[in-house]
Structure 1
Amino acid sequence: MRRAQLVDEVIEQLRLRISSGDFKVGDRLPAETVLVSELGVGRTTLREAVRVLEHAGLFEVRQGSGTYLRSSTDAKALAPRLRHARVLDVLDVRRALEIEMTRMAAAYRTEAALVALRDSLERMRRGMESGDQRVFIDAEMEIYRVIAAGTQNAIMIEIYGLFSEALRLALTQIIAIPGVMPDCLARHEQLFKAIEARDVDKAEAVAKAHLGRVTRLVQEVLGDARVDEAGKKDAQAVQPLRAP
């Protein structure tokens, strides 16, 4: 059988395992050696299949951690629409999802979640101190992945996974605005404390305040910019973030 046919066969087998519930959203897939043995293919074939499913939005490959099921729904058709969405529209969806997510994560939080959140906050801090926006954004995205997982709601996790790439693109514009990174870090530290204390109302209040502040800033600075316009606006010419 030709390599392309083998890859297609592995993709189909992995999709079947997703649809049958063998893999659930948020789960880490079995180790590569295990999958190679189960599927009866070579490592190269498996890796090509995983790359295809990662591009489709089903898998997320985390360096040094493994491959995770991001969504059980192919996001490929949805992705172009999300990439062309207005940043403000992305923030509206973010607000609708994250405020409830933070409430649920605070109510159900675990020690493992706190460890993951602390680690991500530290990486946010390092990104801010070094001026590395990519590190900062990656860490912020990880915080909300942990919060989404903390809801213990498979549908919520999946919806957030489908939406996360558009959010990442929007954040590349938002984080570039002077003064945003330190303010954002401070708000997430407050959010962590509320989740740690299982203070549901405080977690909601912090999330609302943070997202409201970001929305006002985007209205002022980016206007009707779309998420695929990162780098087209001269964010450095903008005045530093001001207190509301």
Structure 2
Amino acid sequence: MAVRPVQRTSLVEGAVAELRRLLAAEHWPVGARLPGEVELSRLLGVGRSTGREAVRALIASGQLRSQQGSGTYVVSTAPVEEFDRGLRRAAVADVYEVRIALEVEAGRLAANRRTDEDVAVLGELLAERGAAGSDAELVEADLLLHRAVVTAAHNPVLAQVFDSFLGALRVAARDAVADGGVHGGPGGDDARAHEELVAAVVAADPEAAEAATRRNLGRALERLRGE
């Protein structure tokens, strides 16, 4: 039996492992910008070329995202599955098309199945969305609210699919906001659409929940397409 000798871990692999450990510990949470190349390499105790290659490896694996002229941002604190990496590379409009298909059904099911606990959570998250003070806060509050609607549908398969899609949704939503306010702020039509969605779920009105979801996400998709 031919056994190859174990190779010593390279500096790049060691730097990648340390970055992954720091991300898992949320030293830099999702959405945070990493230190610049010089500072990051100093923190890792490696040369700039090694630090650069480690960052590139995590960009390729989907945990980091480079934004030209701005820096490198955390996309996921855990290694990303190949399915999710593909979604994150998809066009923002493509992601929203699939999002509509998922969430319209989630809204309908939630209106039929929500519990008193679901109602309380939805009310709290709707208030948090309304209180968002920045684009980043709005994106996170918005996703939490929509995830709560999916939870209220009480379909574990739907929840699993949505969760596998969540990283792509977060990136798409941030890109959409950065590209000119595809999502409205705390006030206006988008806020009313979310209020109507929550009200429909609370009132156990599946048709109204479907309609509110289509208005909300359909309007965002139209803006993305420039319609």
Same fold (TM over 0.5): yes
User: Matches of 1:80 and 1:94 in 2, distance apart?
Assistant: 16
Q: What secondary structure, in the 3-state scheme, does the structure 2 residue paired with 1:175 have? A: helix
1:117 and 2:90 matched: no
Report deviation, 1:216: 0.7
Report deviation, 1:113: 1.0
1:61-100 map, 5 Å: 75-100=80-105
8 Å CA contact retained: 1:103, 1:200: yes
1:135-150 map, 5 Å: 135-150=137-152
Task: Specify the alignment match of 2:172 in structure 1.
Answer: 170
Return the letter of the residue paired with 2:176. I
Q: What secondary structure, in the 3-state scheme, does the structure 2 residue paired with 1:78 have? A: helix
| Residue deviations 1:26-63 (CA, integer Å, cap 9, x gap) | xxxxxxxxxxxxxxxxxxxxxx6x939x9999xxxxxx
Report deviation, 1:75: 4.8
1:227-238 map, 5 Å: none
Return the letter of the residue paired with 2:155. N
Q: What's the Cα RMSD here? A: 2.7
Give the one of 205, 212, 219 matched to 1:199.
205
User: Matches of 1:191 and 1:147 in 2, distance apart?
Assistant: 9
TM-score with structure 1 length normalisation?
Answer: 0.57
Give the one of 4, 20, 24 matched to 1:51.
24
Task: Could you tell me which runs of 5 or more consecutive residues in structure 1 were left unpaired when the two chains were aligned.
Answer: 1-47, 58-73, 222-244
User: Matches of 1:211 and 1:136 in 2, distance apart?
Assistant: 15
Task: Could you tell me which runs of 5 or more consecutive residues in structure 2 were left unpaired when the two chains were aligned.
Answer: 1-20, 31-57, 63-78
- Name whichever of 105-114 and 74-83 sits farther off: 74-83
Return the letter of the residue paired with 1:51. A
Give the one of 217, 224, 242 matched to 2:223.
217
TM-score with structure 2 length normalisation?
Answer: 0.61
Task: Specify the alignment match of 1:156 in structure 2.
Answer: 158
Report deviation, 1:175: 2.9
Higher Cα Rg: structure 1 or 2? 2
| Residue deviations 1:194-236 (CA, integer Å, cap 9, x gap) | 1110011111111112222111111018xxxxxxxxxxxxxxx
1:6-21 map, 5 Å: none
| Residue deviations 1:92-112 (CA, integer Å, cap 9, x gap) | 110110000000011111111
1:180 and 2:184 matched: yes
- Residue correspondences, number: 154
8 Å CA contact retained: 1:174, 1:180: no
User: Matches of 1:137 and 1:86 in 2, distance apart?
Assistant: 18
User: Matches of 2:139 and 2:95 in 1, distance apart?
Assistant: 16
User: Matches of 1:137 and 1:115 in 2, distance apart?
Assistant: 21
8 Å CA contact retained: 1:116, 1:146: yes
User: Matches of 2:117 and 2:174 in 1, distance apart?
Assistant: 28
User: Matches of 1:165 and 1:121 in 2, distance apart?
Assistant: 21
Instruction: Summarize the Cα distance change of 1:141–1:114 in structure 2 as closer, same or farther, 3 Å threshold.
Output: same
8 Å CA contact retained: 1:123, 1:135: no
Return the letter of the residue paired with 2:125. S
